[in-house]
Every structure is written in C-alpha cells, then in structure tokens.
Amino acid sequence: MSIDIEAACVLITGGGSGIGLGLARRFLEGGARVTITGRDRARLERVAADHPGLDFVASDIADPCAREALAEQVRESMPALNVLINNAGIQRRIGLAEDDAPWAQRQAEIDTLLSGPIHLNHLLLPLLLSERRAATIVNLSSGGAYVPQPFAPVYSASKAALHSYTMNLRFALRHTACSVVELIPPAVRTSLAGDGAVHGVDLEVYCDAVFAALVAGDADEIGYGPTASAAFEAAKAGYRAMFDTMAGRFPVKRYE
C-alpha cells in the first residue's frame, strides 16, 4: 500500500539519529507531519532546531511505563497517526563467552529491539485502525535476523524474534487497511555500533532507496544490497512458503 506523504502523520522511534532521522527528514521534506522519539532530550532539541516543523517526544522505548505515556500523548496530539516506524535500536558487540555484564544490559537491548515495538504496536493499533483509514506499521529488523551475528548475539536474537512477530502481525492485519512492512537493512554507517562507525553502506544512499520503496508500497519486506540479493530472497521465499502453509493450517482470530 503506497503512502501519501502530504497526508502522512508519522511517528518514528529512535528518530534522533541514523536511519530514523534519515527517514524523518525525507517525510518532513515531502510535507508530512513528523514526530520523533528518543531518550536524549538534548539531542532531540538540537535535531528539531535544525529541522523546522519536526516535533519530538523524549521517551525511552525500553521502559513500559514510558511506552504507555507515549501512546497516551500520541492519542491526544496525533489523532491522525497513520505511519508508525519502530526504528529505535541499540547493539552490544560482545560474544556470549565473554559477556559478563549485568543482566540489565541484555534486558535493555531486548526491550529496545523487541518488547518496545510489540508493546507500542499493541497500544497504538486501535488508533491506526480507527475509521478504517489506510495506515502503515514499519518494523526495522536486520540482516542479523536471518543470519545471526556472533559478535552481537542478543541483538541478532531480538531482531530474529521481531521478524517472526512482524510476519504474524502482517497476517493478523491482512483484512484491514493497515499494512505491515519490514525493513531489513544490511550494515549501514550509523552510530548503532558506536560513534565513528565506518563499516557498511552510506546512510544517505540507504535512506534514499528505502524511503522510495516504502512510499511506493510495493513490498512487505524491503532489503538493500546484501539483504536484497537473489540468494537472500530465495531463502526468504522458502521460509514464507512454510509460514503460509502453517498459517492456513492453524487459523487464528484476525483484526477487523
């Protein structure tokens, strides 16, 4: 389902930098109303100052109470919300055998990457489905959701779970006007892996390509470079075929 940019009312979590900010900027330039979220209020204030018309809410997607407060604020100030982009991310680069950090660090990663999007989608779906208007939920997974990264095992596991959830959410919403899109970025040069990252594709090139594909609305899963290769697509096709078989065998209640 294509997105009418001028009519779009967009919420992007983790929109203060990286892919989130890149997408926010492009929606804003197209005439959409855009609100970004993030934990760092000072950063959000600087970003908003550099982008007139961009709104922000300081909110930690890893905190369930903060998610509920964010949803309440969105319902009050953005009743026309029709694009939700779950982009917020953190990545701890440490192998399992050497990871002796407190559990809270792993939990924060899981909550940011998995619990947060699931909960926020649940909280905002009634608004997105209201009046049966066209809407889009975008979940950012990763190439690591399909091919686990030993240097970022909790990140990979969380993204794999998000991919699975996204397939199920799309299936549950198939009879509604709300589409569900999974962005599957390869390594992109952002601050996800720390400041000064030089590995991966150029951020602006990636955002240009993905934004165009997202607005066109022709694909439920949008890869780029390695995650759009013929081999990658062939592997996904087999997985989807098995999902379709299982989904038809065990019917579940759907959204209306």
- Which residues participate in catalysis according to the annotation? 155
Q: How far apart, in Å, do the first and last CA atoms of the chain sit?
A: 17
What region does 200 belong to: left with phi over 0, alpha with psi -120 to 50, or beta?
left
Pairs from 114-117 (Cβ < 8 Å, separation ≥ 24)? 114/158, 114/161, 114/162, 114/165, 115/62, 115/64, 116/13, 116/61, 116/62, 116/67, 116/86, 116/88, 117/13, 117/61, 117/86, 117/162, 117/165
Asked whether 55 and 78 are in contact (CB, 8 A), the reply is no
CA distance 246 to 255: 19
Residues 6+ apart with CB under 8 A from 114: 158, 161, 162, 165
DSSP state of 18: H
